[in-house]
Amino acid sequence: MIRLIPRTEPSKAMIFLSPLLALVLTALTAFFIFTFILTDIEVSSVFFTLFVEPLIDTYYISELLVKAAPLIMIALGLSIGFRAGVWNIGAEGQYVIGGITGGAVGLYFYNVEGFWLIPLMSIAAILGGMLYAGIAAFLKTKFQVNEILVTLMLTYVAVLFLSAMLQGPMRNPSGFNFPESRLFHDSALLPIIWQGTRLNVGLIVAIMLSFLTWFGIKKHLSGLQIKISGSAPRAAKFAGFDDKQTIWFSLLISGGVAGLAGLFEAIGPAGQITPGLPQFYGFTAIIVAFLARLHPIAIIFSSLLIALTYLGGENVQIYFNLPSSITNIFQGMLLFYFLACDILIQYKIVLFKTVQQRL
């Protein structure tokens, strides 16, 4: 018999080391895959492309940061909900809707100059994301509908809505009937903060949001409310916290930032709205949030790590002709190992013989 027994005191060092341990285990597994399964590819060069190259080339570093920004934002929002035990799995959908509503404002004011345009678009994107996540909040508080199902299924609706928009009202009038919007004009594009790259102010916003979230969790009652609602719902009621308010709050926040991230992708690296807007950031951010143990500052680092697997994965696709699912495999392994390490921090495995015992 194997049994998991809770440890009396989890090791402090291991709590910090486990993400690194997960990374090492992932690398080891990759090593085995390339040594024994994909034998025609040389291990060292794959590893170089995967883990090293993205870190030594300025272009790749900037791309790393470009990819990390939306992950940070979405993961921050999700982490708030996860703390409260509200499982928003459909950030991808809120991201798409935010891109559409925010982008629509930009397209409506096409070629209109003004510093107010991006803030206005941002508000529209946040409201769009909130509205979309609000559907799940409404159904959950009113009819106890499971938010996991609602948010997840609404993601598919959002993607279909995007293609409907791109084939209809948002299609570029002079775009040869391609399902793409116009390219945003300069006033509607996020300012670049690193000349010569695609890195924009989105990263700064993301990092500021990290610190804001950290403040909220540490210093504000709403952070406490979320934590208590998640871990002891009866105590939350005892404290006078409204559980419905917590559900609304966490879904609206996560929806809002996901919407903003969607817009930033459209008016940042993409420059227009295309069917390629959804890039799985909404789902990947779930991994990011858990790798960071829902800590708002740690989310910055786990986003960078996951962004690295995106870039490295893309590169091995290009150089070694491997399928695109290689990125997903790495991300999946990383989360799997991380969760496994975490279990072993909290519990120890006890092997024991079954004693003949009649109770």
Partner 1 sequence: MKYQLEIQNITKSYGDLKANDDISLSIKPASIHALLGENGAGKSTLVKVIYGSLQPDSGQMQWCGEGYSPKSPFEAREQGIAMVFQHFSLFESLTVAENIILGLDDIGLETDFTEQITKFSKQYGLNINPQQVVGDLSVGARQRVEIIRCLMQNPKLLIMDEPTSVLTPQEVTDLFVTLRKLAEDGCAILYISHKLEEVRQICSHATILRGGKLVQNCNPQDHSKQEIAEMMIGKKLIQLARSNITTGQDIFSINNLSRKSDDMFGVDLHDISLTIKKGSIVGIAGVAGNGQDELMQLLIGEVEAPEETLVFKGENIGGLNSHQRRQLSMFFIPEERLGHGAVPDMGLHENMLLSRPEKSEMTHYGVINWNNVEKLTQQVIDDFKVQTQSSKMQAKSLSGGNLQKFMVGRELIQNPELLIVSQPTWGVDAGSENNIHQALIALADQGSAILIISQDLDEILTLCEQIHVLSEGSLSAAVDMKDNGLEKISHLMLGSEQQ
List residues near partner 1 by CB under 8 A.
219-222, 224, 227-228, 231-232, 234-235, 237-242, 357-359
102 with 96: CB under 8 angstroms?
no
> Least distance in Å: CB of 239 to partner 1?
4
> Least distance in Å: CB of 15 to partner 1?
14
Inter-helix orientation angle 325-346/281-291, to 10°: 30
Which C-beta is closer to partner 1: that of 353 or that of 358?
358
Q: How far apart are CA 144 and CA 54, in angstroms?
A: 45
The token pair at 219 is 């210093």
> Least distance in Å: CB of 291 to partner 1?
21
Query: Where do runs of H (alpha helix) occur along 35-57?
Result: 43-47, 53-56
Q: State the DSSP code for 184.
A: P
Q: Which string of b and e fits 81-112 if b means at least 16 CB within 10 Å? A: bbbbebbbbbbbbbbbbbbbbbbbbbbebeee
Which C-beta is closer to partner 1: that of 3 or that of 244?
244
Which C-beta is closer to partner 1: that of 3 or that of 219?
219
Which C-beta is closer to partner 1: that of 52 or that of 239?
239
> Least distance in Å: CB of 231 to partner 1?
6
End-to-end CA distance of the chain: 18
> Least distance in Å: CB of 18 to partner 1?
19
Torsion of CA 58, 64, 66, 70, to 10 degrees: -170
Which C-beta is closer to partner 1: that of 228 or that of 261?
228
> Least distance in Å: CB of 63 to partner 1?
38
DSSP strands (E only) in 265-327: none
223 with 58: CB under 8 angstroms?
no
Q: How far apart are CA 33 and CA 15, in angstroms?
A: 28
292 with 301: CB under 8 angstroms?
yes
> Least distance in Å: CB of 237 to partner 1?
4
The token pair at 244 is 């419905």
Which C-beta is closer to partner 1: that of 187 or that of 222?
222
* Cα 85 → chain centroid: 17
Which C-beta is closer to partner 1: that of 5 or that of 318?
5
256 with 129: CB under 8 angstroms?
yes
Listed in sequence order, the residues at least 6 apart from 253 whose beta carbon sits closer than 8 Å to its beta carbon are: 77, 80, 81
Which C-beta is closer to partner 1: that of 48 or that of 347?
347
> Least distance in Å: CB of 1 to partner 1?
17
> Least distance in Å: CB of 232 to partner 1?
4
Residues in the chain: 359
DSSP strands (E only) in 67-219: none
Which C-beta is closer to partner 1: that of 7 or that of 237?
237
